[in-house]
Amino acid sequence: MDELKNNGAIQLFEDKKIRTAWDEKQEEWYFSIVDVISVLTGTENPRRYWSDLKRKLKAEGAVEVYEKIVQLKMTAPDGKKRLTDVANTEQLLRIIQSVPSPKAEPFKAWLAMVGRERIEETIDPEQAIDRALDTYLKKGYSEEWVHQRLLAIRIRNELTDEWKRRGVEKGKEYAILTDEISRAWSGMTTREYKKLKGLKKENLRDNMSDLELVLTMLAEASTTDISKTAKPKEFSEHQDVARRGGKVAGIARQALEAETGKPVITSQNAKDFRQLITDIVEDAASIPEYTETEEKTEDESEDK
């Protein structure tokens, strides 16, 4: 299971969230079983349903399915990581057979689609970008913002690749270094930044303005370049590099604020930005196609 990626990533079936993890070595998904049962049955207690179903599977002789169920740490509704029973596609199909539900067949088709899309993305990563673009647009973000966000993802991946090459441990150490960068350019840790924007589980970068995203990218791109030059070995050296990279963006932020007299960092979040876009569109729609003067000019030109 060392090759599992995207642990706790969310897939959507009929707008219902299903936690997943991708096994790169085996090239297959693992799905949270209680999430699947919740979707299929609508029960308010999917954990109890699954507990009863496990006993039923064992009694039916489906020992192979029962014994191959593994547990992974996934993010629970309260935001904490907890061990959760998961199943791969083959195991899940066997479990679904024991769950009477009108959604069983649509869910099987969804499973096939999810698997196909992930394999396609492995072969052609551009497809993953296209799907991410489409998802953000459906959520109401502007196309310009989405392109910025996708660039931010690429820059972040380049930074984490650099950390991985130099032995930084994914998880806690990544989080510490990310906070060092954030504090150096914005004056806040990630948690403090999210609190400013009134966020809980939401992704901070999905709730940033264009300028906030640009400065985050500058901070992380600078950290990557400095790391490649400095070649840090000890974790304390990585922390120093993170602060230096973040400081580059911090200087840029201060310079811009001095020029405009306005703070770059804002408490606005995605809801505010989407409403702003809606207001602009509605305002534009309410403007007459021609002003009275323009109408007169058009009429006069036709008479000529």
- What predicted TM-score, i.e. pTM, was given to this entire model? 0.52
Answer yes or no: do 43 and 150 share one domain: no
Whether 298 is covered by a domain: the verdict is no
Instruction: Enumerate residues 6+ apart whose C-beta is below 8 A from 125.
Output: none
pLDDT at 300 (0 to 100): 37
Residues 68, 140 within the same domain: no
Same domain, 25 and 137: no
| Phi and psi torsions of 235, nearest 5° | -65, -35
Which regions of 24-157 does DSSP assign to beta strands (E)? 28-32, 70-75, 81-88
Q: Using 50, 70 and 90 to split pLDDT, how confident is the model at 126?
A: very low
In a domain, 245, yes or no: yes
Per residue in 73-122, pLDDT (tens digit) is 888 777 778 888 888 877 778 778 778 877 777 777 666 665 544 434 44
User: What does the pLDDT look like over 212-237, one tens digit per residue?
Assistant: 999 999 999 999 999 999 999 999 99
User: In total, how many domains does the chain have?
Assistant: 2
Is residue 262 a part of any domain in this protein?
yes
Domain span at residue 243 reads: 132-285
Residues 90 and 168 in one domain: no
